Every structure is written in C-alpha cells, then in structure tokens.
Structure 1
C-alpha cells in the first residue's frame, strides 16, 4: 500500500496545465504515493493526456456522466489506499518537497489530523502574482475557522483514518465543500494546522473571480457558518456575517475587489 494517496478531480482542464499538475506529483521527493485522477466527462476529455504518463502509480477513472466536484472528490477518497491523503487540483503545481514536508509533520505531530500550507498565487502562464498565508498554530486555525476557511484545499494533507471515522465531503455544497469539511472535522475535535512553507502554486484564473461564482461562494460560506460555527461566534463574528450578507447585494465590481484583497497579497 502507498503511504500517500493524492486525489485529483478533473473537468476539462487545459492540457498544458493538467500536464504540469501531474508532473509536479511525479517530481515529488517522497516517491511512495498513488495519484487517483477522477474525471467528469466534458467536451474536452483528458484521457489521452493522462494516459500519456506511463507510471503505474497513476490510477485513472472517468465517470459515465457528470457527477459534480463533491462526488468526484468522495470517489477519490473511497479509492484511496494510502495512510495519508493529499488533495491536488488539476491546474495547480505542488512543489517537489510538498508531500515529504507534510508527511513528516503529521508523523511527528500525532495530535494533528490535517495540515495545509501557504500558497504562491500564479497566473495562467505560471507567473507569480501574489501569495496567501494562513495561521499555523492549531488554536489559531480553530479560532479563525468560524470566520473564514483557513485550510487551502489544494494544499490539504490529512490522515486517511479521518475519512473512515467521519466520512467524506458533505453533500449540498457545490462550492465551499472544503470549508464545510474542515469545519465538520474541527467540530469533531480534529486539530488542523498549516506549515509556514509555500508548498503549492495556486493558479488564479480570470473566470474564477466572476461575480456570479463569488456570490455563490458567499452564500455557501454563510451556510457553513450557520451550520457549524454559530454556537461559538462572538459579537465580532456576527458583525462579520452581517457584512457578508450585505455584500451579496453590493455591485459586482466591489465584490471582486474585496475578494482579491482578502485572498492574496502581492
């Protein structure tokens, strides 16, 4: 059995970006892994690209019909054979030391269940345009989770036993399913942390900050807070939620600028 199962959902990812994402896993300094790629069908099927990598550590499945990101991710979790699970997006790049650094951290800190990292933000050409930093101490992660998601999905690395104990991603969240999942685990007593290293290059597409998607994200964020964190909220937390509800009705340009300001620094 591999030590790490890397789960990568795919949907119409442009060939150059998908190749870079897969190659970044092949280039890991920790070599005892499996890469589980779960593709939803589209007009641009990636089968030929994926099968061009002749490495038997890659396990690939394409669904007969569109299932959605939550079910793609959960199928990957069901297929995983490793002791640890690493999340990876099909257009992002994991730095070569990523899996080793996160594996070492969890094996040396048995009280931690999930570990993420900081992100380097890159554009469609791979050029650095910013960064995202997250709290590293589990106490700070727990405190801030009731305000926002502070475990980056493409950098998440966690113990496979958590899936067996608490299940996979919850249904009903087309977006923000990661925030819902980490919140669920945190409320079950799982400790979450981040490494100070920048272990993933996160691709920022223009399409990913369209106002319609942002408002959907905002709605889902509010629902996660209502579901998981309302009983722990301070007055300041409630004030933030009120501001987020008002933001749903703000002009799209305001929403986009605020999103850019909140999500990365140059």
Structure 2
C-alpha cells in the first residue's frame, strides 16, 4: 500500500463483503454534512458493506473526533488518512487498492456533503445482480440546499447508447451515485490521479471507449448538496479540464462532429461568464437533459 496512506481505525473482522463503499473527507468539508453522509450509508437497508472513509490531508480536530467516534460505533466503517491532500481521484484509487482484501463485487461512491436514500444500495446492487453485463450503474438525484431543502433534480439519460452519445458534450453520470463492478478495477482501470477535478468524466470516457456498459436508474437515490457558490466553484482549471474531456471523448468515441466541437467551445466560453448567466444555463441544461433522458 502507498507509504503516505495509513489506516487509523479498522475493527471489521469479515474477510469478504459484497460492496466496498468509499468516501473522502478534506479540510473544506462541513462536519455536520459529513456525518449525515456517513449515517446515510451506515443506515442503508442493504448491509453487506465495508465503508472506507479517507481523510484527505489535515482536517480539524473536531472533525477527526467525530469521524473516529462514528468508526468506533460501527465496525463496517474503516477510517484511513492520506498524509497530505492528494485529491478525490487518488483517494479513490487508494480505497480500491486497500479494499481488494475483501474481494468485493462492487465499488460504490459517496461524497461527504450528500445523503444517500435508505434503499439506494439495495436498489443498485439488486439491479446489478440481475444485469451482469452492466459495469457502471448510476441514478438520478435530488438537489438540496444548505438546509436540506429540495431545490432541483438531475435525471440522466438511462440507456447505454444515450449515455455514450452524450459524453462528448457533458458528463452523463452523476458521480456520487455510481456503483462500479469491481472487475473493472481488477482489469487495471483507475481514476487519473493527476486530476484534481473532472476525474470521473475522464474515467467514463476511458471505460466507454473500452466497451464497458453503462446504465442510469431513473430513481432519485441520492440527495446532492447544491450550495450557494455552486455556480462559481468551477474555475478556470475545471472549465479547461471539462473542455479537454469533451475533446478526448470525441476522439476516443469517434464522435468528432461540428455540433460537438461547437458545443465544447460554447460551454468553455459560458463557464467564464458571471454566475447569474451560468445559473440560467444550468437550469436550461437540466431541462434539456431530462427531456433527452425520456427518449
């Protein structure tokens, strides 16, 4: 295992679990939201899990105490730490490497400011058990604000054909909702650890180009935290990486069209505009995406 990764708390005695759930926490995360996220996984109706929570770099003493207390209350929760902040992609790769010992069938994502609905894992694992050809399964989600109030929804295209055809224009999987068949990682695929954002977008493009099958459930199985600065957080780095991802998707998926190229440049220009303009575009995008997903 990586020398800059250590396990702080592990009382799980089982040698095999069906699903490894992974979440990263870093210094900017809200402590209350992180605990809510953890509780939403530990209180799932589906119980056959190992839940690894990785502290990505230094966090507050209060947050660390809360995480340690949670881990001590449920042996399924493993608490680990990176000695420095390495980002979500590398944290998830380390979770995969460490979690191999349980010989899991599935890898489920969770974010520290979201809430999984109680039957999320039961619904997704049950679906994957019945559809062995699907490698990556996501779902729709409900968007909530800082107070937990519903402010929107995000329903992605459901079929593999729709998901792949839209990849050159946008990331068509809700990353915090996905469950990935662990055999994907056993074949050597990993998140690009050099990326501090858009790592999921590049990962889906790579997997799609290699023939892995995707699917999105229409069920809203996660409450996604959309806070006030949501439209301002992207920044130049994320906007440029999204643009690079779109170009890569066109090349790898052989969808290099005038429409896709125009879309990529248009979105890049839009990202650099004021937050109010981005907010309007985001709402339009949600509307168009829902309509697309119904066909």
| TM-score, normalised with respect to structure 2 | 0.84
Q: Match of 2:185, SS?
A: helix
- CA shift in 2, pair 1:207/1:43, >3 Å: farther
- Alignment match, 1:8: 23
Q: CA RMSD in A?
A: 2.0
- 1:249 and 1:204 mapped to 2: Cα distance? 20
- Alignment match, 2:182: 160
- Alignment match, 2:130: 108
Once the two structures are overlaid, the 10-residue window that deviates more, 43-52 or 250-259, is: 250-259
For this pair of structures, how many residues does the alignment match? 265
The answer as to whether partners of 1:116 and 1:156 remain within 8 angstroms in 2 is yes
The answer as to whether partners of 2:247 and 2:264 remain within 8 angstroms in 1 is no
From 64, 87, 90, give the equivalent of 1:47.
64
From 23, 28, 38, give the equivalent of 2:54.
38
Q: Match of 1:146, SS?
A: coil
Structure 2 counterparts to residues 100-139 of structure 1, below 5 A: 100-139=122-161
- The Cα shift of 1:248 comes to 4.6
Q: Match of 1:257, SS?
A: helix
Structure 2 counterparts to residues 232-247 of structure 1, below 5 A: 232-247=255-270
1:89 aligns with 2:132: no
Q: Match of 2:158, SS?
A: coil
The answer as to whether partners of 2:134 and 2:212 remain within 8 angstroms in 1 is yes
From 69, 74, 79, give the equivalent of 2:88.
69
- 2:109 and 2:272 mapped to 1: Cα distance? 33
- CA shift in 2, pair 1:42/1:32, >3 Å: same
User: 1:27-83: per-residue Cα shift (whole Å, max 9, x none)?
Assistant: 111111010111123352532111212111111111222222221121112122321
Structure 2 residue runs of 5 or longer lacking an equivalent are 1-15, 291-295
Q: Match of 1:28, SS?
A: coil
1:228 aligns with 2:244: no
- CA shift in 2, pair 1:44/1:208, >3 Å: farther
The answer as to whether partners of 1:210 and 1:256 remain within 8 angstroms in 2 is no
- The Cα shift of 1:252 comes to 4.6
- 2:213 and 2:49 mapped to 1: Cα distance? 24
From 278, 281, 289, give the equivalent of 1:258.
281
- The Cα shift of 1:106 comes to 1.1
Structure 1 residue runs of 5 or longer lacking an equivalent are none
The answer as to whether partners of 1:36 and 1:79 remain within 8 angstroms in 2 is no
- Alignment match, 2:44: 28
- Alignment match, 1:205: 227
- 1:131 and 1:249 mapped to 2: Cα distance? 24
